[in-house]
């Protein structure tokens, strides 16, 4: 039967033409079939060329050096230096008008380590990023999520209260490894690794982390002295309830007042964006007012905990404090890896968000190198993990900042504070710092995003929920690991159980679509038209084989004499790649269908798929030209005509 069909469209050698069949009707049918299009194989390429193209698309999808083409050698060198140090790109054209715009700086968040370390981390890293970073809006410094993760992971081995120096050494060492991981990802062009943290994972993780951060501030807000070192919801609430005798009404009153003030300022800025400066200035105003109140009323003598004496001076070198002791090496590497990936994801996402608002590009891999080197330098200058913070960057954006000079201005402001203003913070109450942190992290709970995830994809919502529940009930790192694990399992499920569907013809057209999606699509008698929407590889060939055979059995048992199944059409338009297991699957499927008196037809195999089918043909000749069609419409028309002409 196959050989005869070659007479009407292709002969056994795959060439057009063949035998002429007499009769007007047959001639008309043959004329209609003459418009069939051959499935073309892609142009031949060497293995080296294919490997080069694959490597380029994997590691250089943005083609960062395309601007170098056709330029003189001197210009290329200048462009290369500007690529490595973006500051050289905008400094020559920097003007006083841009300087006025860049004066709109934000405040530095206080971290879970000693407050002075938070200030140190707001001085050196912004200076480094201003030289190496490519984002014009990103404002770098300590962020609550990285602080929370680092604190919770390190506290599992060392108590910051019992061994503060060792804890500090571990924090600096973890920061060094975090920077090393970040810079390595950028240098090796492995930025796609952070894509495993899906939006659903991040939304749930951020919300859970915001609650954990807020719960940790209850110690300061309630004035509790003996507070749990654990991070989970249950132990924290148990600690709060068991130490009610330590609650201080003076501390609680001050906490409520300043928290209401900060949340009101945040609400005002969100409702009226032009008043962004209200929420930006509110934390500093709270610090100043609370410090004055404590100083004037001697509140530290009435149960109000204060920061105490802070040393003046700039960052002290800390490379001698990096601890590579085998006893703690595993802990610091693990902490650096987790905090590095999380802070990198946040920084790159924030940079790209504001770049899209101002219609310019941010090189993700270059940002990774900048953030990584920033943290490596920071670990040697008494800083811990820093990255770009959304709230601080939003203030920069709303203030009209035009270049990375805003980071320099922020760093200089912190420098002045470190040199001259530290004595003014002696009476700053810890309760106001807790209120500032709660007001800052509450914005991480994105309820509209959660609702949107629920409406869009229930599986993504499950991932989001698992991340959230894991963080607040188990631990920060384990909650994140659970969410990432579920996300990866979902991807594996999509690979091993690819989507397949039966297609039907939309009446009056040569269009074939999913029967379940399009109600006006109808089955074509004698044909089982299937489509696969995924790569075909070793992980899913068994599933595909079983699923197709089951469909064939169902069609064969349900068919009548008029609709008896003759052809199985496999549309490969949505199959971008196939491996040797996939080719073996197609060959086995063809043999299996032939045993049942059916014929397997392949439609529109893409370049890589067609190339491997052609190689299989060269060896064994399994798929001849008359079993390959460019469109489903042409396949059905040709095969239907042939069936009519060969029918008794």
Q: The CATH number of the domain where 621 resides is what?
A: 3.30.750.24
Look at residue 394 and tell me whether its pLDDT is greater than 80: no
Mean pLDDT within 411-419: 85
Residue 169: which pLDDT band, with cuts at 50, 70 and 90? very high
In a domain, residue 354? The reply is: yes
In a domain, residue 82? The reply is: no
DSSP single-letter state for residue 417: I
- Who has greater pLDDT, 361 or 27? 361
- Of the residues 488, 517, 544, the one at which a domain ends: 488
276 lies in the same domain as 414: yes
User: Range with the lowest mean pLDDT among 51-65, 144-158, 231-245, 251-265?
Assistant: 51-65
pLDDT by residue (tens digit) across 491-519? Answer: 888 889 998 999 999 988 888 998 888 88
In a domain, residue 76? The reply is: no
Q: Which residues neighbour 444 within 8 Å (Cβ) at sequence distance 6 or greater?
A: 144, 145, 206, 207, 209, 210
Instruction: Look at residue 642 in the predicted model and tell me its pLDDT.
Output: 63
Residue of 425, 426, 431 whose CA lies nearest to 223: 431
% the chain with pLDDT above 70: 82
Instruction: Look at residue 23 in the predicted model and tell me its pLDDT.
Output: 44
Instruction: Look at residue 172 in the predicted model and tell me its pLDDT.
Output: 94
482 lies in the same domain as 508: no
Look at residue 399 and tell me whether its pLDDT is greater than 90: no
415 lies in the same domain as 287: yes
Instruction: Look at residue 221 in the predicted model and tell me its pLDDT.
Output: 83
564 lies in the same domain as 591: yes
Beta-carbon count within 10 A of 372 CB:
23
pLDDT by residue (tens digit) across 431-446? Answer: 888 888 888 778 778 8
Instruction: Look at residue 401 in the predicted model and tell me its pLDDT.
Output: 67
Instruction: Look at residue 215 in the predicted model and tell me its pLDDT.
Output: 85
For the packed helices 199-216 and 144-155, what is the interaxial angle rounded to 10 degrees?
70
- Who has greater pLDDT, 111 or 40? 40
- Of the residues 424, 458, 488, the one at which a domain ends: 488
471 lies in the same domain as 559: no
Look at residue 30 and tell me whether its pLDDT is greater than 60: no
Instruction: Look at residue 87 in the predicted model and tell me its pLDDT.
Output: 65
HSE toward the beta carbon, residue 467, CA cutoff 13 A: 28
In a domain, residue 54? The reply is: no
R_g over Cα of the chain: 33
Look at residue 273 and tell me whether its pLDDT is greater than 50: yes
503 lies in the same domain as 590: yes
In a domain, residue 426? The reply is: yes
Residue of 500, 492, 512 whose CA lies nearest to 549: 500
522 lies in the same domain as 637: yes
For the chain, how many structural domains are there in total? 2
Its domain, for residue 422, covers 95-305+316-488
Instruction: Look at residue 137 in the predicted model and tell me its pLDDT.
Output: 79
In a domain, residue 22? The reply is: no
Look at residue 385 and tell me whether its pLDDT is greater than 80: yes
Rounded distance between C-alpha atoms, residue 477 and residue 372, angstroms: 21
Joined together, the tokens standing for residue 360 give 């310019």
Look at residue 612 and tell me whether its pLDDT is greater than 60: yes
Rounded distance between C-alpha atoms, residue 442 and residue 439, angstroms: 6
Instruction: Look at residue 21 in the predicted model and tell me its pLDDT.
Output: 38
In a domain, residue 57? The reply is: no
Look at residue 486 and tell me whether its pLDDT is greater than 50: yes
Look at residue 7 and tell me whether its pLDDT is greater than 70: no
Instruction: Look at residue 16 in the predicted model and tell me its pLDDT.
Output: 39
Instruction: Look at residue 62 in the predicted model and tell me its pLDDT.
Output: 62
Mean pLDDT within 220-230: 79
347 lies in the same domain as 250: yes
List 532's β-bridge partners, or say none. Answer: 500
Look at residue 91 and tell me whether its pLDDT is greater than 70: no
- pTM, to two decimals: 0.72
Mean pLDDT within 454-466: 90
Rounded distance between C-alpha atoms, residue 121 and residue 381, angstroms: 9
H or E stretch covering 543: helix 541-558
618 lies in the same domain as 469: no
Residue of 188, 477, 158 whose CA lies nearest to 334: 477
Instruction: Look at residue 279 in the predicted model and tell me its pLDDT.
Output: 79
531 lies in the same domain as 583: yes
Look at residue 566 and tell me whether its pLDDT is greater than 70: yes
Instruction: Look at residue 358 in the predicted model and tell me its pLDDT.
Output: 72
**Distances from the Cα of 286 to the Cαs of 143, 415, 577, in angstroms?**
19, 21, 59
- Of the residues 438, 469, 488, the one at which a domain ends: 488
276 lies in the same domain as 401: yes
In a domain, residue 39? The reply is: no
- Who has greater pLDDT, 243 or 648? 243
Look at residue 202 and tell me whether its pLDDT is greater than 90: no
**Distances from the Cα of 461 to the Cαs of 208, 211, 360, in angstroms?**
14, 18, 32
Give the length of the chain: 648
- Who has greater pLDDT, 455 or 404? 455
Instruction: Look at residue 519 in the predicted model and tell me its pLDDT.
Output: 87
User: Range with the lowest mean pLDDT among 203-207, 265-269, 361-365?
Assistant: 361-365
Residue of 201, 197, 195 whose CA lies nearest to 461: 201
Look at residue 297 and tell me whether its pLDDT is greater than 50: yes
480 lies in the same domain as 515: no
């Amino acid at each position: 039967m196959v050989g005869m069909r070659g007479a009407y469209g292709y002969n056994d050698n795959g060439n057009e033409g063949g035998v002429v069949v007499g009769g007007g009707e047959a001639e008309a049918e043959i004329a209609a079939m003459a418009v069939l299009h051959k499935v073309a194989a892609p142009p031949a390429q060497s293995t080296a060329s294919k490997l080069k193209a694959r490597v380029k698309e994997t590691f250089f999808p943005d083609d960062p050096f395309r601007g170098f083409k056709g330029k003189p050698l001197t210009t290329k060198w200048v462009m290369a230096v500007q690529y490595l140090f973006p500051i050289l790109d905008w400094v020559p054209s920097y003007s006083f008008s841009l300087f006025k715009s860049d004066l709109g700086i934000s405040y530095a968040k206080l971290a879970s380590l000693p407050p002075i370390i938070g200030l140190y981390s707001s001085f050196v890293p912004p200076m480094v990023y201003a030289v190496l970073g490519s984002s014009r809006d990103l404002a770098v410094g300590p962020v609550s999520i990285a602080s929370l993760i680092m604190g919770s992971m390190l506290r599992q081995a060392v108590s910051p209260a019992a061994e503060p120096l060792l804890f500090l050494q571990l924090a600096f060492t973890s920061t060094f490894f975090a920077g090393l991981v970040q810079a390595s990802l950028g240098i090796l062009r492995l930025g796609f690794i952070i894509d495993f943290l899906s939006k659903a994972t991040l939304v749930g993780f951020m919300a859970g982390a915001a609650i954990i951060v807020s719960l940790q501030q209850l110690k300061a807000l309630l004035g509790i002295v003996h507070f749990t070192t654990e991070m989970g919801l249950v132990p924290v609430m148990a600690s709060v309830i068991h130490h009610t005798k330590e609650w201080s009404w003076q501390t609680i009153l001050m906490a409520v007042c300043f928290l209401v003030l900060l949340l009101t300022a945040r609400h005002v800025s969100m409702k009226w964006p032009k008043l962004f400066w209200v929420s930006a200035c509110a934390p500093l105003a709270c610090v100043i007012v609370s410090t004055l109140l404590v100083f004037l009323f001697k509140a530290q003598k009435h149960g109000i905990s204060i920061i105490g004496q802070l040393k003046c001076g700039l960052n002290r070198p800390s490379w001698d404090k990096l601890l590579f002791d085998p006893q703690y090496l595993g802990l610091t590497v693990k902490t650096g890896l987790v905090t590095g990936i999380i802070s990198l994801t946040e920084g790159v996402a924030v940079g790209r968000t504001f770049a899209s608002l101002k219609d310019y590009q941010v090189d993700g891999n270059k940002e990774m190198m900048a953030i990584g080197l920033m943290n490596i330098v920071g670990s040697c200058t008494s800083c811990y993990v820093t990255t770009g913070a959304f709230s601080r960057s939003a203030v920069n954006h709303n203030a009209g900042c035009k270049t990375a000079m805003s980071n320099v201005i922020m760093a200089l402001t912190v420098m002045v504070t470190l040199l001259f203003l530290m004595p003014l913070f002696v009476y700053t109450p810890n309760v106001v710092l807790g209120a500032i942190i709660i007001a800052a992290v509450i914005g991480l709970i994105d309820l509209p995003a959660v609702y949107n995830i629920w409406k869009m994809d229930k599986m993504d919502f499950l991932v989001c929920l698992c991340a959230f529940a894991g963080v607040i009930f188990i631990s920060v790192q384990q909650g994140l690991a659970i969410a990432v694990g579920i996300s990866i399992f979902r991807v594996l499920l999509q690979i091993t159980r690819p989507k397949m569907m039966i297609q039907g013809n939309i009446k009056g057209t040569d269009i074939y679509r999913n029967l379940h999606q399009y109600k006006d699509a109808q089955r074509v008698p004698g044909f089982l038209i299937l489509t696969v929407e995924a790569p075909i590889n070793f992980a899913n060939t068994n599933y595909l084989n079983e699923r197709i055979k089951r469909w064939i059995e169902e069609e064969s048992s349900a068919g009548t004499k008029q609709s008896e199944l003759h052809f199985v059409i496999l549309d490969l338009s949505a199959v971008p790649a196939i491996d040797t297991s996939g080719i073996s699957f197609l060959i086995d499927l063809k043999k299996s269908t032939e045993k049942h008196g059916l014929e397997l037809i392949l439609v529109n195999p893409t370049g890589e798929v067609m190339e491997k089918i052609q190689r299989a043909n060269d060896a064994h000749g399994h798929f001849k030209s008359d079993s390959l069609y460019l469109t489903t419409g042409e396949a059905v028309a040709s095969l239907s005509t042939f069936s009519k002409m060969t029918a008794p």
